[in-house]
Amino acid sequence: MSETILIADDHPLFRQALALAVAAVAPAARVVEAGTLTAAARAASEAADLSLITLDLKMPGAIGYSGIALLHAERPDVPILVVSSAEGAKVADEARAFGAVGFLRKDADLSQIEEAIAAALGGRAPAAASAEPVDQVRRAVADLTPTQLKVLLAVLDGKLNKQIAFDLGMSESTVKAHMTAIMRKLDVQNRTQAALIARSLGLDLTN
């Protein structure tokens, strides 16, 4: 059975390194590469046989952990393995909280990356995965649809409904409907509270 593995990273050389790791673990897999979050989301939605996504947190179009949330919303059935240079004691746990099956730093040994890829493809969490429970708010964010996440990120960016409608190619009434759904899922009363929740969860991190 054929399978596709998506490598999302803005560094071509590192994408090649990951492709080599993938080839060692799943030589028959088709590798699709994406250098921006927009391209990754498009590739994720188009690949019918997608079996794994490797994702760098720091890539064009991504804000904090929004890349994980968006790709998880596009393909909730596909495991996401974060391979990133992002630092911080809580980064790995936060990555898993938004839907990743595991987190590895880019300076991990190639053998570690291969083992993590094999584990994810085998339906197992990589050995470094945390067993801590995901809190309710993060689950709510992870439950947003791709379009709802795009709307929420636009709100975080300070855009008004008219601007969001233009950027996403929809009517203002549709944007309002999405905001209503977002506020219901996050259990808040207005867009400011929704933005505050997203910000508190790290969706607007820039480092």
- Given 94, 121, 148, the domain boundary residue is 121
- Check which CATH number belongs to the domain holding 146 and give it: 1.10.10.10
Confidence band for 31, pLDDT divided at 50, 70 and 90: very high
* Calpha distance 205→207 (Å, rounded): 6
What is the value of pTM for the model shown? 0.68
163 and 89: one domain? no
**Could you give the strand order of the β-sheet that contains 102-105, starting from the edge strand earlier in sequence?**
30-34, 4-8, 50-55, 80-84, 102-105
Query: 41-94 pLDDT, tens per residue?
Result: 999 999 889 999 999 988 887 777 888 888 888 888 899 999 888 776 678 888
Q: Residue 63 maps to which CATH number?
A: 3.40.50.2300
Same domain for 153 and 180, yes or no, is yes
Residue 101 in any domain: the answer is yes
What range defines the domain where residue 191 resides? 136-200
